[in-house]
């Protein structure tokens, strides 16, 4: 069984905010044919479906963001769930709007839901998928994540939710490595480093060819 937990704050007043994109991804996935209705369990709303013959739970904690770990802990304990069978989907204001980043483990990065999950589970070794919601100005983080997307941002946000939902399904079917390969772009400087390495190899080949040609001339 796999469990997908989307993070957000309950209540209509928070619907559509940047902090709730995790909920949006779970709602998107739960709207697929064959997924049952949400039911209140484990201090969360839980919908059950199947993907590739495997049972999948789509979860939205009913606690506020900073207590998200309570629901996750109850689910993990009840189903005796291995950490690698849990995927947490959250917003991240350290990433540009629409950028996705998947990781098998890692720090909470200041995201309060991930922070509480780490505290409740006693480990940071669980897969997570983060969705960039744009970057706030200095001292504006709290108000920013609780704000809604501007009209010019809504299309990019909707595309990110759809892309994140597709990435979740890759994780369900193939695991976190395949999910990471799908969504993670090259790290900063990686492309430049690759180009430099290619240039270095080309230069060495050219130097070797020149030496071979000089050797042939000497033999002649």
pLDDT (0 to 100) of residue 188:
43
Work out how many domains the chain is built from and give that number: 2
Residues 59 and 149 in one domain: yes
60 contacts: CB under 8 Å, gap ≥ 6: 5, 6, 8, 10, 22, 23, 26, 27, 38, 44, 45, 46
Q: What is the pLDDT of residue 210?
A: 54
Q: Are residues 162 and 178 in the same domain?
A: yes
Tokens of 50: 């199947």
Residues near 43 by beta carbon (within 8 Å), at least 6 away in sequence: 61, 62, 63, 70, 71, 74
Q: Do residue 39 and residue 79 come from a single domain?
A: yes
Any idea which residue has 């190899």 for tokens? 201
Q: So what's the pLDDT on residue 198?
A: 47
The C-alpha angle with vertex 106 and arms to 55 and 74, in degrees rounded to 5, equals 45
Spans of the chain below 50 pLDDT = 187-198, 200, 202-203, 206, 212-213, 217-220
Instruction: Identify the pLDDT of residue 205.
Output: 52
Cα dist from 31 to 36, 69, 139, whole Å: 9, 24, 37
Q: What is the CATH number of the domain that holds 147?
A: 3.40.50.1470
With tokens 């070794």, the residue in question is: 125
Report pTM.
0.82
- Out of 18, 19, 60, 101, pick the active-site residue: 19
58: left (phi over 0), alpha (psi -120 to 50) or beta: beta
108 is catalytic: no
202: containing domain: 186-220
* Residues 166, 89 contacting (CB under 8 angstroms): no
Based on the fold, state whether residues 150 and 104 are members of the same structural domain. Answer: yes
Locate tokens 């994540």: which residue?
145
CA pair distance 213, 86, nearest whole angstrom:
60
* 59 and 165 co-located in one domain: yes
């Amino acid at each position: 069984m796999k469990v997908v937990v989307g993070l957000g704050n309950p209540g209509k007043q928070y619907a559509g905010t940047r902090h709730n994109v995790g909920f949006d991804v779970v709602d998107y996935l739960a709207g697929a044919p064959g997924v049952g209705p949400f039911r209140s369990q484990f201090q969360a709303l839980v919908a059950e479906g199947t993907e590739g013959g495997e049972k999948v739970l789509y979860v939205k904690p009913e606690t506020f963001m900073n207590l998200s770990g309570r629901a996750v802990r109850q689910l993990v304990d009840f189903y005796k769930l291995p950490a690698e069978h849990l995927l947490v989907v959250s917003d991240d204001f350290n990433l540009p709007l629409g950028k996705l980043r998947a990781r098998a483990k890692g720090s909470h990065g200041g995201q309060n839901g991930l922070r509480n999950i780490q505290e409740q589970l006693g480990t940071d070794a669980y897969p997570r998928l983060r969705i960039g919601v744009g970057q706030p100005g200095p001292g504006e983080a709290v108000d920013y994540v609780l704000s809604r997307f501007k009209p010019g941002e809504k299309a990019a946000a909707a595309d990110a939710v759809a892309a994140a939902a597709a990435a979740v399904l890759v994780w369900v079917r193939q695991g976190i490595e395949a999910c990471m390969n799908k969504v993670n772009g090259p790290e900063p400087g990686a492309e430049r480093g690759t180009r430099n390495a290619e240039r270095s190899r080309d230069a060495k080949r050219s130097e070797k060819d020149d030496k071979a040609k000089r050797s042939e001339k000497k033999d002649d």
